[in-house]
Structure 1
């Protein structure tokens, strides 16, 4: 395990957590759906995603998701965000291996940052939305 960890973790590039503003035909509502986007030319391996929402007064339950592989130029649906959690900071901690190197980045949607008026084109998706910071 120690051999897998460098003294410095490389900067994550072309991997995103996005919130797509999509129509749910089952419930007949517009909702925010969270995706992990791999816009690199290589597969991501052993992908671990931990997400939670938090503020000074509220904390949501923690979601953990594991993907064995996320192929190059592909997406994975993680979850949808209910209206109630838009009033807290939503944090997605993403860890994976790329070409044998451990990679990690915390992606964040600050509270009240998901607004339909701010949507724009997203990488690899036909839906529009917002890219996490």
Structure 2
């Protein structure tokens, strides 16, 4: 029966971590975003994030978006720099039409840094991107 289950490949949905200025606190913050670069809306977007290493594990953070319109993005969470020494996972599940999609995005430890910044799709910002 497992061989009959078709899991569609996720394309056009990315996770990015952006270093941006916070006007309220006058600080440089790292924020995680989900980017929908598809030509269709995605619905019921569930995101579960966590960090881990050989000796440490963070608590789970959960976020739900009812809809993420096509060619748009949404902020997921603020990330503290202490977490960059850990592997950070973003498990994303969403519906496109009547099909459910699921993908785990992984930022390996120490890969989120200012030297790794690149131009991001749809955002007028630079950040670290996982496809």
Q: TM-score range by the shorter chain?
A: over 0.9
Count of aligned pairs: 128
Inter-partner Cα distance in structure 2 for 1:116 and 1:24: 17
Shift of 1:42: 0.6
Name which of 64, 67, 70 aligns with 1:66.
64
Shift of 1:27: 2.4
Inter-partner Cα distance in structure 2 for 1:83 and 1:14: 27
Per-residue displacement from partner, 1:64-83 (whole Å, max 9, x unpaired)? 11111111111110001101
Which runs of 5 or more residues in structure 1 are unaligned? Answer: 1-5
1:65-104 equivalence runs, <5 A: 65-104=63-102
Name which of 35, 40, 56 aligns with 2:38.
40
Which runs of 5 or more residues in structure 2 are unaligned? Answer: none
Structure 1 counterpart SS, 2:34:
strand
Inter-partner Cα distance in structure 1 for 2:23 and 2:109: 26
Question: With structure 2 as the length reference, what TM-score do the two structures score?
Answer: 0.93
- The residue that corresponds to 2:113 in the other structure is 115
Matched, 1:54 2:52: yes
Per-residue displacement from partner, 1:27-61 (whole Å, max 9, x unpaired)? 22222110000010111111110000011111111
Question: With structure 1 as the length reference, what TM-score do the two structures score?
Answer: 0.91
Moved more, 105-114 or 19-28: 19-28
